[in-house]
């Protein structure tokens, strides 16, 4: 003897294929490991990572161009070394002025 649904349900809800389809849709959208929420979160994460990638690629290009300029210009290299690494000649004194 099969399980019977009460007679007050419409006939469409008694159909095996309809019930199976509804369960399948619920499974795919909410229970499965690749559900809709997870896919949307992954797409947002991917977009964020692609933006970071573009930012860092731009920074790499900027650093490479600065490096080329420093290696080709002796005065610019000296200025960079003095400002960034506080290098000085033996006969000089260096004063660091900071803003508060």
**For range 52-77, the mean pLDDT:** 93
pLDDT score for 4: 65
In a domain, 91, yes or no: no
Number of folded domains in the chain? 1
Domain that holds residue 32: 11-85
Given a contact cutoff of 8 angstroms between Cβ atoms, the answer to whether 47 and 55 are in contact is no
**For range 28-46, the mean pLDDT:** 87
* Residue 67 main-chain phi, psi, to 5 deg: -65, -45
Per-chain mean pLDDT for the chain: 85
In a domain, 2, yes or no: no
In a domain, 90, yes or no: no
Q: How confident is the model at residue 6 (pLDDT cuts 50, 70, 90)?
A: low
Distance CA 69, CA 76 (A): 8
pLDDT score for 44: 97
Structure tokens at 59: 């920074």
**What percent of the chain clears pLDDT 70, i.e. is strictly above it?**
91
pLDDT score for 89: 81
């Amino acid at each position: 003897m099969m399980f019977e649904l009460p007679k007050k349900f419409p006939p469409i809800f008694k159909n095996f294929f309809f019930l199976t389809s509804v369960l399948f849709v619920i499974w795919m959208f909410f229970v499965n490991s690749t559900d809709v929420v997870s896919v949307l979160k992954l797409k947002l994460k991917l977009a964020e990572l692609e933006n970071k990638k573009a930012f860092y690629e731009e920074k790499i290009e900027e650093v490479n161009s600065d490096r080329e300029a420093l290696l080709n210009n002796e005065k610019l290299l000296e200025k960079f070394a003095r400002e960034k690494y506080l290098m000085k000649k033996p006969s000089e004194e260096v004063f660091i002025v900071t803003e508060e």
